[in-house]
Amino acid sequence: MAEARRRVRPGAAAFAARLASLAILIGLWQLAASLADTRTLPGPLAVAAFIGREIESGGMLTNIGVTLTRVAVSFVIAMTLGVLLGVALGRSRLADRMLDTPLLVILNTPALVITVLAYVWLGLTETAAIVAVALNKLPNVAVIMREGARSIDPGLEEMARTYRMDRRTWAAHVLVPQLQPFAVAAARSGISLAWKIVLVVELIGRPNGVGFAINYYFQLFDVTAVIGYSVAFMSVMLAIDTLILQPIDAHVRRWR
Amino acid sequence: MSAAGADTAPVLRVAIARKVYGAGGPEPVEAVRELSFQVTAGEIVCLIGPSGAGKTTTLRILLGLDRDFEGRIAPEPGGEGARLGMVFQEPRLLPWRSIEQNVRLALPRERRGRDLDDLFESLGLAPWRGRYPGALSLGMQRRVSLARALADEPRLLVLDEPFVSLDDAAAAGLRGLVTGAVERFGTSVLMVTHNVAEAIEIADRLLLLSARPARLIGEERLAVPRARRDRAFVEATRAALAARYPGVVAG
Please report, in tens digits, the pLDDT of each residue of chain B (251 residues total).
444 444 467 888 888 878 888 877 788 888 888 888 889 888 899 998 887 778 888 888 888 888 888 888 888 777 777 788 899 988 999 999 999 999 999 888 888 888 888 888 888 888 989 999 999 988 889 989 999 998 888 888 999 988 887 888 888 888 888 888 888 878 899 999 888 888 888 889 999 888 878 888 888 888 888 888 888 888 888 888 888 887 777 65
In this structure, are residues A137 and A75 in contact, taking their beta carbons and an 8 Å threshold? yes
* CB pair distance less than 8 Å for A162 and B101: no
Average pLDDT, chain A: 88
Number of helices and strands in chain B (H, E): 7, 9
What distance lies between CA A71 and its chain's CA centroid? 8
Q: Own/partner pairs for A135-138, CB < 8 Å, 24+ apart? A: A135/A78, A135/A106, A136/A111, A136/A193, A136/A194, A136/A197, A137/A74, A137/A75, A137/A78, A137/A82, A137/A190, A137/A193, A137/A194, A137/A197, A138/A78, A138/A81, A138/A82, A138/A85, A138/A106
Report which of A42, A44, A71, A47 is spatially closest to residue A60, judged by C-alpha positions: A47
Question: Global pTM?
Answer: 0.79
> In terms of DSSP bridges, do strands B156-160 and B84-87 run parallel, antiparallel, or are they unpaired?
parallel
Residues B98 and B136: their CA atoms lie apart, in Å, by: 11
pLDDT at position B8, please? 63
CA-based torsion, A134, A136, A141, A143: positive or negative: positive
Residues in B touching A163 (Cβ below 8 Å): 86, 106, 148
* CB pair distance less than 8 Å for B86 and A163: yes
Q: What percent of chain A has pLDDT over 90?
A: 56
pLDDT at position A116, please? 93
B 41-60 → A contacts, CB under 8 A: 60
Angle, alpha carbons B2-B4-B7 (nearest 5°)? 125
pLDDT tens digits, one per residue of B78-111: 777 778 889 998 899 999 999 999 999 988 888 8
In this structure, are residues B48 and B199 in contact, taking their beta carbons and an 8 Å threshold? yes
* DSSP per position, B189-245: EEEEES-HHHHHHH-SEEEEEPSSSB-EEEEEE--S-GGG--HHHHHHHHHHHHHH-
When CB atoms are compared, the residue of B63, B78, B94 closest to A173 is B94
Residues in chain A whose beta carbon is closer than 8 A to a beta carbon of chain B? 155-156, 158-159, 161-166, 169, 173-174, 177, 255-256
* DSSP per position, A158-188: HHHHHTT--HHHIIIIIIHHHHHHHHHHHHH
Helix axis angle for A176-205 and A223-240, nearest 10°, is: 160
Report which of A78, A113, A57, A70 is spatially closest to residue A237, judged by C-alpha positions: A70
Name the DSSP class of B10.
Answer: E
AA letter at A24? I
Residues in A touching B97 (Cβ below 8 Å): 173, 177, 255
Helix axis angle for A126-150 and A176-205, nearest 10°, is: 150
Residues B45 and B199: their CA atoms lie apart, in Å, by: 9
pLDDT at position B5, please? 44
Which of A157, A162, A165 best tests the B interface by mutation, with the highest count of B CBs <10 A?
A162
Residues in B touching A176 (Cβ below 8 Å): none
ipTM of the complex: 0.85
CA distance A167 to chain B (A): 11
Q: How far from each other are the two terminal CA atoms of chain A, in whole angstroms?
A: 18
Q: What is the assigned CATH class of domain A58-252?
A: mainly alpha
pLDDT at position A2, please? 44
Q: What is the mean pLDDT of residues A136-165?
A: 91
Residues B4 and A239: their CA atoms lie apart, in Å, by: 68
Residue A166 backbone zone (phi > 0: left; psi -120 to 50: alpha; other: beta): beta
pLDDT at position A9, please? 58
In this structure, are residues B9 and B43 in contact, taking their beta carbons and an 8 Å threshold? no
pLDDT tens digits, one per residue of A40-81: 889 999 999 999 999 999 889 999 999 999 999 999 999 999
Residues A50 and A25: their CA atoms lie apart, in Å, by: 19
Q: What is the mean pLDDT of residues A124-144?
A: 92
When CB atoms are compared, the residue of B95, B101, B106 closest to A163 is B106
Q: Give the number of other Cβ atoms within 10 Å of residue A127's Cβ.
A: 10
pLDDT at position B251, please? 56
Residues in A touching B65 (Cβ below 8 Å): 158, 161-162
Domain ranges of chain A: 58-252
Residue B64 backbone zone (phi > 0: left; psi -120 to 50: alpha; other: beta): left
Q: A116 Cβ partners below 8 Å, 6+ apart?
A: A204
Residues B142 and B51: their CA atoms lie apart, in Å, by: 21
pLDDT tens digits, one per residue of A230-256: 999 989 988 888 888 888 888 888 887
Q: Please give the radius of gyration of chain A, using alpha carbons only, rounded to the nearest integer.
A: 22
pLDDT at position B50, please? 80
Listed range (A21-30, A37-46, A59-68, A128-137) with the worst mean pLDDT:
A37-46
H or E stretch at B5? none
pLDDT tens digits, one per residue of A175-228: 999 999 999 999 988 888 888 899 999 998 899 999 999 999 999 999 999 999
More confident residue, A160 or B250: A160
Residues B187 and B40: their CA atoms lie apart, in Å, by: 10
Domains and CATH numbers, chain B: 10-83+154-244 (3.40.50.300)
Using DSSP, state whether B72 is helix, strand or coil. strand
Is the CB of residue B94 less than 8 Å away from at least one CB of chain A? yes
Residue A86 has pLDDT above 90, yes or no: yes
Which of B61, B63, B105 best tests the A interface by mutation, with the highest count of A CBs <10 A?
B105
